[in-house]
Amino acid sequence: MKVLVTGCAGYIGSVLTRQLLERGHDVRGFDSLNYGGEAILGVASHPRFEFVRGDLRDVSAVRAAVAGVDAVTHLAAIVGDPACAQQPDLTRAVNRDASLALLHLAQGQPQVRRFVFASTCSNYGKMEGGGLVTEDSPLRPVSLYAELKVEIEQALLTGDFRQDFIPTALRFSTVYGLSPRMRFDLTVNEFVRDLVLGRTLRVFGEQFWRPYCHVEDLARAVGLVLESPAATVRQNVFNVGDTTENFTKKMIVEAVNRALPDVAGRVEYVHKVEDPRDYRVDFTRIKTALGFQITKHLSDGIREIAAALRGGIISDPDAARYRNV
């Protein structure tokens, strides 16, 4: 299969690109390289990889990128609540307008069969009561970032597409772990960095829940969906993660202390009564329908990030290119 990966130089996209090449697919990567291109250096000369530098808002660049591919995996976006809040006009233009245009362009190209959209569990906002949310629970987005993800999902799930066009939305857990494009603005990665470097880590709202998933497992879910039966994934939505991997921030701090008992950093909890994003997620659907299983747990991600920091592989973890704002 020839797969277009938008956002191929990003935290998840750079891992997905490698995995798709390993699975034998041809990959065309598309990215505006907002954080540089180092993340795809390792695949740049791969015989089945092709890179197109372009902006998702440029219709002719996108049309050229979609030409001749069998599948589109759409990850390019302004990512995260803070980055979107800082640039709302750009965010609407990229995350909504250009994403909708890409969806419709792909469905208008007869050879494009698959379309996988990177959405987020942030769409759930705050859960009601103490239960787990499923794909059928109401969505309560509380940020521009999540509101626009919900809009694209709705277009994808309810659109009147040709019968052999198979779009799927994946609601990713909060991701962690090592990637060729590191991000230290993600909870687990940030906590490990600060504690390993002996800093005082300030944790805001330690009692609030979120699901977490290793970047390699998230990326693998995208490949799995591309190869799954059309009837199972067409205009369907899946949470991506594992039900056992819902944690509070306090539990993440405890996991870091368990995995790395010798960290020098200390933790200061800053109590917050309200957090509009407080949710625990059920991941039964992707497990039963697609057989998805995670292969890595929180402790694996914690240890690998600590090793990369301690070994000097990442020597400047505070650099601007390692965060989205």
Ligand X SMILES: NC(=O)c1ccc[n+]([C@@H]2O[C@H](COP(=O)([O-])OP(=O)(O)OC[C@H]3O[C@@H](n4cnc5c(N)ncnc54)[C@H](O)[C@@H]3O)[C@@H](O)[C@H]2O)c1
For the bound state, the minimum distance from the C-beta of residue 237 to ligand X, rounded and expressed in Å, comes to 13
Which one, of 89, 105, 81, 98, lies nearest residue 7 by Cα?
98
Among 3, 4, 10, 29, interactor with ligand X by CB under 6 A: 10
For the bound state, the minimum distance from the C-beta of residue 258 to ligand X, rounded and expressed in Å, comes to 23
Distance CA 249, CA 201 (A): 12
For the bound state, the minimum distance from the C-beta of residue 198 to ligand X, rounded and expressed in Å, comes to 26
Comparing CB distances to ligand X, the nearer of 120 and 246 is: 120
Binding positions for ligand X, 156-215, rule CB under 6 A: 172, 174-175, 181, 183, 186
Q: How far is CA 221 from the centre of its chain?
A: 11
For the bound state, the minimum distance from the C-beta of residue 223 to ligand X, rounded and expressed in Å, comes to 15
For the bound state, the minimum distance from the C-beta of residue 266 to ligand X, rounded and expressed in Å, comes to 26
Please report where in the chains the tokens 């999902």 appear, as a residue. Answer: 153
Comparing CB distances to ligand X, the nearer of 189 and 263 is: 189
The yes or no reply on residue 144 touching ligand X (CB under 6 A) is no
List, in order, residues 6 or more apart from 313 with CB less than 8 Å away. Answer: 307
Distance CA 169, CA 161 (A): 15
The yes or no reply on residue 51 touching ligand X (CB under 6 A) is no
174 has which bridge partners?
212
The yes or no reply on residue 31 touching ligand X (CB under 6 A) is yes
Minimal CB distance to ligand X: which residue? 10
The interface region with ligand X, picked from 70-78, 103-111, 223-231, 299-307 by CB under 6 A, is 70-78
202 has which bridge partners?
268
The yes or no reply on residue 94 touching ligand X (CB under 6 A) is yes
Among 17, 107, 120, 168, interactor with ligand X by CB under 6 A: 120
CB atoms within 10 A of CB 136: 8
Half-sphere exposure of 35 (CA within 13 A, CB side): 24
The interface region with ligand X, picked from 72-80, 266-274, 280-288, 300-308 by CB under 6 A, is 72-80
The yes or no reply on residue 102 touching ligand X (CB under 6 A) is no
The yes or no reply on residue 32 touching ligand X (CB under 6 A) is yes
The yes or no reply on residue 40 touching ligand X (CB under 6 A) is no
For the bound state, the minimum distance from the C-beta of residue 119 to ligand X, rounded and expressed in Å, comes to 6
The interface region with ligand X, picked from 10-18, 136-144, 159-167, 247-255 by CB under 6 A, is 10-18
For the bound state, the minimum distance from the C-beta of residue 261 to ligand X, rounded and expressed in Å, comes to 27
Residues binding ligand X (CB under 6 A): 7, 9-13, 31-35, 55-57, 75-79, 94, 118, 120, 172, 174-175, 181, 183, 186, 324
